[in-house]
């Protein structure tokens, strides 16, 4: 597995988690 793909996957996962947190807890914006 290329390291660039691993980095892209981790960044995408982090952004997804961040968006879920923002949508579920808008007061913590």
Question: What percentage of the chain carries pLDDT values higher than 70?
Answer: 90
> Measuring CA to CA, how many Å separate 19 from each of 3, 11, 22?
24, 12, 5
- % helix / strand / coil in the chain, to the nearest 5? 85, 0, 15
Question: Quick one: pLDDT at residue 22?
Answer: 87
Question: Quick one: pLDDT at residue 7?
Answer: 96
Decide if pLDDT at 14 tops 90: yes
Task: Show the domain range for 10.
Answer: 1-29
DSSP state of 21: H
The average pLDDT across 10-29 equals: 88
Three-state secondary-structure class, residue 1: coil
**Which residues, 6 or more positions from 22, have their beta carbon under 8 angstroms from its beta carbon?**
28, 29
Identify the helix (H) or strand (E) that includes residue 29.
none
Domains identified in the chain, total number: 1
The average pLDDT across 6-28 equals: 91
């Amino acid at each position: 597995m290329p390291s660039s793909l691993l980095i892209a996957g981790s960044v995408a996962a982090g952004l997804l988690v961040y968006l879920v947190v923002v949508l579920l807890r808008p007061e913590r914006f």
